[in-house]
């Protein structure tokens, strides 16, 4: 189907979103559109569709996010590109667009419309006019260097101030030097000096992401490596003050989609790979170990390069799995014995090598590592298999590797499906932790009784107050955890840090280990100390998070029991707990009720409040050894 026909279908389907099939069909059409102008038209077409329409009849089809946009030029068109990119991943943006060149006022003024809008994500787009508009008509290098220093310092202070007092993730761009500005200098020694000064100016902006956890700086130079992208349409710049070309705005919008997915918890976690004609050329069952293409030729080297790129993803915490129609003895030969195979058996957390339908294998893989199928990226050379998975599991992102092996790396990496705001020490250990998870499942199969299995696991749990090292992981848990996330709070590191510094808040991390190894930091609890109207103290459990890797072991019960004991020890009269339903956390809707709480209120925000009178506490989980303030001499909450 052509892009034009897809646009017509979208316009027709959006008229009746009470039918869930229509919403799903729109997303499917969006994912097939591949031309820049059509992307903008699709985004524009959907601007009139509200969040309530997308989530009609009580569905949670899309996730909302509030995005503020400010700039020194006319950039309103980026809204359409961002809406197009985000709706492809079922994220519904609500925008605030600042007026032309009002970015300083909007970011500085605490009462500005931007800050009243309270965006989860703030985008500030700038072009070289922030510098060149300050130059005299006869400017030369001394003046340019002076202005670059002046503007660079000013922008650094502006963005730092906004990031320090806002919980919003601030997305900036490095500012490209326009070719016409460069060409206005006629000697090459001076050209080199200009380029060096401009790079130092941009380095100052890039340094912001190291200084502030909630600043993301996009490197605009990289977008211009795409041959179809240009910096500026001179006519639009002259007549409409639109200083960035639509092709560049489209690239920036696509990159912002990756940031947003991390912010709202829709980052992918597992890369599932086919084998034949994907990890090597040829069919191992027919061609044999010596006959497949892997190394020793230009095409073979391309497959080796693909292996290396996958290995780097795994190093950063992406879970690897195999889903191949093959005899496992054959694929094992490649990973065990082929001299040019960079990927080895140990790199994969699990392998489904059989003759079952691949969409069924994907369900099995997700179940083995206890994540949703919507966190999978599936890679296969077969168009038939890809289309089958798209049809049966539309929530799985599918990459069809049709064509040259030399293009495989770009095909897998360009989407940025695994991007995150910051890697933590837990990410670097993820593969081994998930391998342990699979080993646990195998171990479990040897027991008739689930409780006997849990007793033999030798589980230990520690509740602790996070330090600076653990802080990124705690924030990451709020952003990545969807199922056991009782209120779906998404918190940035500065927000968690502010709560930790407030004596009215108690932020606890949960570590777990068992006979198969250290699970690391697997959960967190956010508790508010509150003085009641009668003067008594109450604890309010505002959120509880637990990684899907450690569900159903009693860890949450042990942690909650310790909080109840602590509340009693501090003299609290009761403990409240809050639950807000989401598309993913329904399994834990009755968490508080099953631990002795009673529902006492449900407000207009769909928040159900529960209360525990601190009389009869949950029974200690007999198979868990817990270390916490209430069971250790050392006060771990100090």
Nearest residue to 126 via CA among 204, 44, 210: 204
pLDDT at 635: 41
| Cα-based torsion angle of the residue sequence 477, 481, 483, 487 in order, rounded to the nearest 10 degrees | 70
Residues of the chain below pLDDT 70: 629-638
- Alpha-carbon gap, residue 537 to 35, rounded angstroms: 60
**Partner residues linked to 627 by β-bridges:** 462
Q: What does the pLDDT read at residue 630?
A: 58
When computed from its CA atoms, the radius of gyration of the chain, rounded to whole angstroms, is 27
Task: Let me know: does 352 contact 366? Beta carbons within 8 Å.
Answer: no
φ and ψ at residue 379, rounded to 5 degrees: -120, 125
In the numeric block, which tokens belong to residue 349?
């957390």
Distance CA 91, CA 61 (A): 9
Other Cβ atoms closer than 10 A to 362: 23
pLDDT at 631: 56
Residue-wise pLDDT for 534-567, tens only, equals: 889 999 999 999 988 788 889 999 999 999 999 9
Within 10 angstroms of residue 57's Cβ, the number of other Cβ atoms is 9
List the Cα angle 57/372/390 in 5-degree steps.
Answer: 75
Query: Residue 45: how many CB atoms within 10 A of its CB?
Result: 18
SS3 of residue 186 by DSSP? coil
Q: Report the C-alpha gap between 177 and 128 in whole angstroms.
A: 6
Angle ∠(437,438,444) on CA atoms, nearest 5: 90
pLDDT at residue 632, rounded to an integer:
47
Question: What six digits make up the tokens of 150?
Answer: 């002046």
Are the CB atoms for 376 and 397 separated by under 8 Å? Answer: yes
Instruction: Look at residue 634 in the predicted model and tell me its pLDDT.
Output: 43
Give one DSSP letter per residue of 420-484, joined into a string. Answer: -S---HHHHTHHHHHHHHHHHHHHHTT-S-HHHHHHHH-EEEEEE---TTTHHHHHHHHHH--SE
CB 612, CB 575: distance < 8 Å:
yes
Closest CA to 490 of 423, 582, 427: 582
- Closest to 610 measured CA to CA, from 569, 634, 578, 573: 578
Structure tokens at 628: 């916490």
Do you know the residue count of the chain? 638
Task: Identify the CA nearest to 563 among candidates 577, 551, 578, 547.
Answer: 577
For 253-285, give the secondary structure using H, E and C.
Answer: HHHHHHHHHHHCCCCCCEEEECCECCCEECCHH
Residue 217 CB coordination number (10 Å): 19
């Amino acid at each position: 189907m052509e892009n034009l026909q897809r646009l017509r279908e979208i316009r027709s389907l959006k008229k009746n979103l009470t039918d869930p099939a229509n919403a799903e069909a729109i997303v499917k059409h969006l994912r097939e559109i591949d031309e820049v102008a059509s992307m903008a038209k699709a985004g524009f077409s959907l601007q009139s569709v509200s969040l309530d329409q997308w989530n009609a009849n009580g569905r949670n089809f899309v996730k909302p996010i509030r995005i503020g946009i400010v700039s020194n030029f006319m950039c309103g068109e980026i809204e359409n590109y961002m809406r197009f990119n985000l709706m492809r991943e079922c994220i519904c943006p609500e925008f605030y667009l600042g007026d032309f060149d009002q970015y300083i006022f909007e970011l500085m003024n605490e009462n500005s419309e931007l800050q009243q809008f309270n965006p989860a994500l703030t985008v500030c787009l700038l072009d070289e006019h922030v510098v060149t508009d300050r130059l005299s008509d006869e400017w030369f290098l001394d003046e340019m260097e002076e202005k670059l220093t002046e503007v660079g310092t000013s922008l650094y202070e502006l963005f730092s101030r906004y990031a320090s007092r806002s919980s919003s993730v601030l997305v900036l761009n490095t500012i490209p030097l326009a070719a016409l500005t460069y060409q206005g200098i006629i000697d090459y020694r001076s050209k080199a000096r200009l380029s060096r000064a401009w790079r130092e100016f941009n380095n100052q902006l890039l340094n912001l992401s190291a200084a502030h956890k909630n600043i993301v700086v996009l490197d605009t130079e990289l977008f211009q490596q795409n041959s179809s992208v240009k910096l500026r349409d001179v006519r639009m710049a002259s007549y409409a003050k639109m200083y960035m070309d639509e092709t560049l705005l489209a690239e920036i919008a696509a990159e912002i989609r990756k940031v947003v997915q991390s912010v709202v918890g829709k980052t992918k976690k597992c890369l599932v790979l086919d084998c034949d004609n994907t990890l090597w050329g040829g069919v191992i069952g027919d061609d044999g170990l010596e006959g497949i293409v892997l190394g020793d030729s230009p095409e073979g080297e391309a497959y080796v390069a693909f292996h290396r790129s996958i290995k780097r993803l795994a190093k950063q915490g992406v879970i690897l799995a195999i889903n191949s129609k093959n005899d496992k003895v054959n694929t094992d030969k490649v990973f065990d014995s082929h001299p040019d195979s960079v990927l080895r058996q140990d790199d994969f957390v699990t392998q489904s090598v059989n003759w079952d339908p691949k969409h069924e294998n994907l369900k099995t893989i997700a179940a083995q590592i206890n994540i949703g199928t919507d966190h999978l990226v599936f890679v296969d050379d077969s168009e038939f298999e890809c289309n089958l998975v798209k049809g049966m599991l539309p929530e799985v992102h599918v990459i069809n590797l049709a064509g040259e092996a030399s293009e495989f790396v770009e095909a897998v990496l360009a989407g940025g499906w695994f991007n995150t705001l910051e890697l933590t020490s837990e990410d670097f250990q993820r593969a081994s932790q998930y391998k342990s998870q699979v080993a646990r499942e195998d171990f479990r199969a040897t027991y008739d009784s689930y409780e006997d299995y849990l007793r033999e696991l030798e589980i230990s749990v520690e509740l602790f107050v996070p330090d600076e090292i653990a802080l990124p992981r705690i924030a990451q848990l709020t952003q990545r955890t969807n199922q056991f996330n009782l209120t779906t709070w998404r918190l940035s590191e500065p927000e968690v840090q502010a709560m930790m510094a407030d004596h009215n808040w108690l932020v606890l991390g949960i570590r777990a280990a068992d006979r198969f190894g250290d699970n690391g930091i697997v959960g967190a609890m956010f508790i508010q100390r509150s003085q009641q109207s009668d003067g008594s103290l109450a604890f309010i459990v505002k959120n509880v998070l637990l990684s899907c890797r450690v569900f159903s072991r009693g860890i949450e019960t042990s942690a909650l029991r310790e909080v109840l004991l602590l509340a009693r020890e501090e003299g609290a009269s009761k403990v409240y707990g809050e639950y807000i339903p989401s598309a993913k956390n329904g399994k834990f809707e009755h968490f508080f009720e099953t631990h002795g709480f009673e529902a006492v209120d449900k407000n207009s925000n769909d928040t159900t409040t529960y209360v525990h009178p601190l009389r009869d506490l949950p029974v200690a989980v007999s198979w868990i050894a817990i270390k916490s303030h209430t069971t250790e001499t050392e006060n771990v909450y100090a």
